[in-house]
Structures are given as structure tokens and as C-alpha cells.
Amino acid sequence: MERLKQYVASGGAIETSAQPKKRSNLRFVWIGIFSVISLSLVGYWLTSPSDDPVRGPSNPSIEGEGQTDPDQERLASSAYEIIMSATPISDTQIQFIVSTNAPLPIEIMADVTLAGQLDHETWIGEQRKVTLDEQSTSFVLDTTLNGKSLPTGEYEAEVSYYARWGAARNPRASNVPDMSATQSITLGGSGETAEHAKAQARMQRWVLGEMDLNRVWSDAELQARLGRFESYDSPNAVRSVIYYFPDADVSLFIDPTRGKILTYELGRAL
């Protein structure tokens, strides 16, 4: 009866003891649903690609693909080398043995230079361009210049590779850096001293730079510059006398009637 009264008073909505149990069960259902969703989101975050600054890029191998590392390039370039030995086999010839791990073929310059030369002095030496087709190449450099040997003395033998022209026949060697190797040697040479050769080169440079055609002949000036001379008639030039200066190894052709220099020639003119 009491429940009937409540039913009437409430308009038919009687609260029973079963209703609170239904609300409690519903609350547990929603808590379960939210837990499942949360765990799913956490799992997706852990397994999905990410560019998180702490975890790093999601695929480093793809991200760096196509890019070159300057440090690796420098390391690869520095791995190339050229090695040589130079041995005089006569007073005028030097045998070179050159080895390299650069891609072949390449071209190098082999030379011998009189030791102790200054930048402003005339270069005294010999050089030759050589193609390297094998990992180890042997060749002989002849130092006889126009029938005249280099002076006796100490020399620097050197082989040099320059990428700007040394790799012209082989594009694979274009990334090989410039490289060289040197060695000190003693050359028997012609017997002429290095100091005399330097002085002679200095006098010849003056003739080449200062001797104008039709220059007025002057014994005093020329002897002061070039040393003593000997004269003889030219068998091939009309109205000319040859004055040969042995210290300078230079011949001047003189027109005796006008007292002027016609031309000059290195060495003793015939």
C-alpha cells in the first residue's frame, strides 16, 4: 500500500532499489570504454611514424637518401696518394718509378729542378708529361736540353698530378685532389757548376729582355753585362760580324758599317 501511495504521488515514477544498480553498472561500462580508447591512442603513438625531436626522424635512411656528407667526401679524397722514387742512372738521366691508387689512366708532370733556386731566377731543370696506365709505372727522364746537359749539383725530383688537366682522359679521376711527391737527388750533369749556370741564365734573360733590334753597339756596355767576347765573320749573313760571349753563351750579329745589332742567338752561332 505504501508503494502504491508513492506511485500515485509521483505520477507513476516509483524509485526502486534496482534503478541505482543500473546506473552503477552503466558507469563501469563507460569507464571501460574510455580505458580502451586511451590504450588504443597510446599504442598508436608508440608505433606510428614520428619526427619527434627526441626520438628522431621516423625513417633516417630515407630522410638522408641522395645527400652527400662533406666529411666523407674529404675522407675519400684524402685516401688517394702518389708515391715515387727517383734514381740517377747516368749523368743526364733519371729513372722514375711512380705508384698511385687513383683511378687510371691519369697524366702527371715529372720534373727535376736545381735546388735552392729563387722565385725571380730563371728556372734550371727539365720536365716531361707522363701518362700513368698502371698502378706502378717506370720511365726515364733525359735532362739534356737542346744538346746541353744540366749543371752538376743537387736537384729536387718531383711528380705532380693536377686535376684540371690530369683527369682529361678519365672522368672517374676528376674527384682526385691535386697531389705530388718529391725526392732530393744528386745529378752528375755536365760538370758546369750551379752558380755558373745561374749567372749564365741571368745574362741570357737580360739579352732576351733588353736587346732591341738596331740597338747601337757598345763594347763597354756589353762586356760589362755579358763578359768577354770573340768575333768572327758570319758565313750566312751578308755584311755582319758575329760576336760570341762564352760566359753568357750568346751570339750577337752586328752590322759593322752602321755599328748596330741586327739580331741575336742563344749558343754559338755557326
Q: Are 226 and 215 in contact (CB under 8 A)?
A: no
CATH of the domain at 165: 2.60.40.10
pLDDT, residue 55, reads 41
Q: How confident is the model at residue 219 (pLDDT cuts 50, 70, 90)?
A: confident
Residues 83 and 183 in one domain: yes
Residues 169 and 131 in one domain: yes
Q: How confident is the model at residue 147 (pLDDT cuts 50, 70, 90)?
A: confident
Kindly state the average pLDDT of the residues 79-92: 97
CA dist 40 to 50, 146, 226, Å? 17, 91, 101
Residues 178 and 89 in one domain: yes
Q: How confident is the model at residue 85 (pLDDT cuts 50, 70, 90)?
A: very high
* Structure confidence by residue, pLDDT tens digits, 20-65: 445 555 555 555 565 555 555 545 544 554 444 444 444 444 444 5
- Judged against a pLDDT cut of 70, whether residue 75 lies above it is answered with no
Question: 81 Cβ partners below 8 Å, 6+ apart?
Answer: 100, 101, 179
User: Does the pTM exceed 0.85?
Assistant: no
**Which cell is 84 given?**
715515387
Q: Is 79 exposed, middle or buried (0-12, 13-18, 19+ CB in 10 A)?
A: exposed
Q: How confident is the model at residue 235 (pLDDT cuts 50, 70, 90)?
A: confident
Residues 46 and 109 in one domain: no
- State the average pLDDT for the chain: 80
Q: Which domain holds residue 19?
A: 1-67
Kindly state the average pLDDT of the residues 100-124: 95
Q: Which of 67, 94, 120 is the last residue of a domain?
A: 67
Q: What is the widest separation between alpha-carbon atoms in the chain?
A: 166
Tally of structural domains, the chain:
3
State the Cα–Cα distance between residues 250 and 207, nearest whole angstrom: 8
Q: How confident is the model at residue 259 (pLDDT cuts 50, 70, 90)?
A: confident
* Amino acid at position 138, single letter: S
How far separated are the first and last CA of the chain, in Å rounded? 157
Q: How confident is the model at residue 72 (pLDDT cuts 50, 70, 90)?
A: low
Q: How confident is the model at residue 81 (pLDDT cuts 50, 70, 90)?
A: very high
- Judged against a pLDDT cut of 80, whether residue 5 lies above it is answered with no
Q: Which of 67, 92, 121 is the last residue of a domain?
A: 67
In a domain, 73, yes or no: no
